[in-house]
């Protein structure tokens, strides 16, 4: 019982949690060095060592994020001294991210993948959610798709809710960012998006909905987002990753897609973000 209480107290008295990790990084608790793992907790008495070209994304127990890139050793107590200010609500979302990407959550990934593969019959799959989660808070929607049967270039068709064409955009890429403030879309509360191969128009995707939030819904999200923006306003991969968790927990999956894409662009060499993004897409049936 004494040992159990001691371990519980140690777990509650952590200094940082590891949200992302790249490289042969190590942590020393006591005398021994061990590899750092995503999801691990670091104590004030620990020391960490970053390898060359490494990266660690940490979140302090108060909710403050911290990126590390410089190689070498540093005491966790010294890292904690860099953190200022009181406790934020950011931990709510970082805990959500860690639980969503836990070993148990990843076990369920295989069954989810099989379900999507069995139910998906389109040659092109757009990585957008089903209609019940089609709401978007921000003005930019990132539309990505994948296809093993249809070659590019691709034609992205955007219609209004009456089926009238608003835009048709050709691209050799498998991703397109749509600005909903564009005059072609600004007057629409919702749009329908589909993609087909220019070489073979019969190879196409399902039509997906993107719906602007109502003023009341947008205000609710704005208030919640305002509680954490002071901590994640800097343009870092870790902050975008945390924002993706915020959007996912609020069922704003299209906004989460954009945040994940930004995180990966800011730190393309960090596999943690790509893996978490892939898990997110599969978890919500947006990817095979």
Higher pLDDT, 218 or 94: 218
**CA distance linking residue 261 with residue 265, whole number of Å:** 6
Instruction: Indicate the Cα dihedral angle 33, 38, 39, 45, nearest 10°.
Output: 30
Asked whether the predicted pLDDT for residue 168 surpasses 80, the reply is yes
Structural domains in the chain, CATH included, are: 2-87 (no CATH), 93-112+235-283 (no CATH), 122-212 (2.60.40.10)
**């954490």: which residue's tokens?**
228
Residue pLDDT, tens place only, 244-254: 999 999 999 99
Q: What does the pLDDT look like over 174-204, one tens digit per residue?
A: 999 999 999 999 999 999 999 999 999 999 9
| Average pLDDT of the residues in 60-83 | 93
Q: For residue range 108-136, what is the model confidence (pLDDT) as tens digits?
A: 555 544 444 444 457 899 999 999 999 99
- From 209, 266, 269, 205, select the one nearest 241 (Cα to Cα): 266
Determine the average pLDDT of the residues in 130-155: 93
User: Given a cut of 80, is residue 282 above it in pLDDT?
Assistant: yes
pLDDT of residue 102: 59
CA distance 127 to 110: 18
**CA 114 centroid distance within chain:** 22
How many angstroms separate the Cα of 227 from the Cα of each of 90, 209, 254, 267, 282? 8, 29, 21, 25, 29
- pLDDT value of residue 77: 95
- Residue reference for tokens 């200094």: 15
Residue whose pair of structure tokens reads 């069995």 in the numeric block: 118
Positive or negative: CA dihedral 165, 171, 173, 175? negative
- Cα 134 to chain centroid distance, Å, stands at 16
Segment 10-38 shows an average pLDDT of: 87
What CA–CA distance (Å, rounded) separates 17 from 281? 24
Tokens for 27?
């942590």
Residue 89: pLDDT band (50, 70, 90) is: confident
What is the total residue count of the chain? 288
**What pLDDT is recorded for position 117?**
42
Long-range CB contact pairs, 161-169, < 8 A, 24+:
161/188, 161/189, 161/190, 161/191, 161/192, 163/192, 166/191
Residue with tokens 């704005």: 222
**d(C-alpha 247, C-alpha 254), whole Å:** 8
Query: Residue 214 contacts by C-beta under 8 Å, 6 or more apart in sequence?
Result: none
Confidence at 97, pLDDT banded by 50, 70, 90: confident
């Amino acid at each position: 019982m004494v040992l159990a209480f001691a371990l519980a107290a140690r777990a509650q008295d952590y200094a940082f949690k590891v949200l992302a990790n790249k490289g042969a990084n190590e942590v020393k608790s006591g005398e021994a060095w061990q590899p750092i793992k995503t999801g691990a907790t670091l104590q004030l008495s620990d020391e960490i060592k970053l390898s060359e070209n490494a990266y660690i994304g940490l979140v302090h127990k108060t909710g403050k994020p911290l990126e590390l890139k410089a190689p070498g050793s540093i005491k966790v107590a010294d890292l904690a001294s860099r953190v200022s200010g009181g406790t934020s609500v950011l931990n709510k979302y970082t805990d959500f991210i860690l639980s969503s990407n836990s070993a148990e959550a990843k076990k369920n990934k295989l069954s989810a993948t099989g379900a999507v593969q069995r139910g998906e019959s389109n040659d092109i799959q757009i990585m957008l959610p089903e209609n019940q989660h089609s709401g978007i808070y921000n003005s930019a929607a990132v539309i990505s798709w994948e296809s093993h049967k249809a070659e590019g270039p691709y034609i992205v068709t955007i219609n209004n809710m009456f089926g009238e064409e608003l835009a048709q955009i050709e691209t050799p890429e498998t991703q397109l960012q749509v600005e909903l403030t564009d005059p072609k879309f600004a007057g629409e509360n919702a749009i329908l998006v589909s993609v087909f191969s220019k070489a073979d128009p019969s190879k196409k995707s399902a039509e997906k909905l993107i719906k602007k939030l109502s003023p009341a819904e947008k205000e609710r999200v704005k208030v919640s987002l305002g509680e954490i923006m002071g901590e994640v306003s800097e343009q870092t991969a870790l902050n975008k990753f945390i924002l993706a968790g915020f959007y996912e927990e609020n069922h704003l999956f299209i906004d989460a897609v954009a945040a994940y894409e930004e995180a990966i662009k800011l730190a393309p060499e960090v596999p943690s973000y790509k893996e978490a993004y892939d898990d997110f897409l599969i978890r919500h049936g947006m990817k095979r």
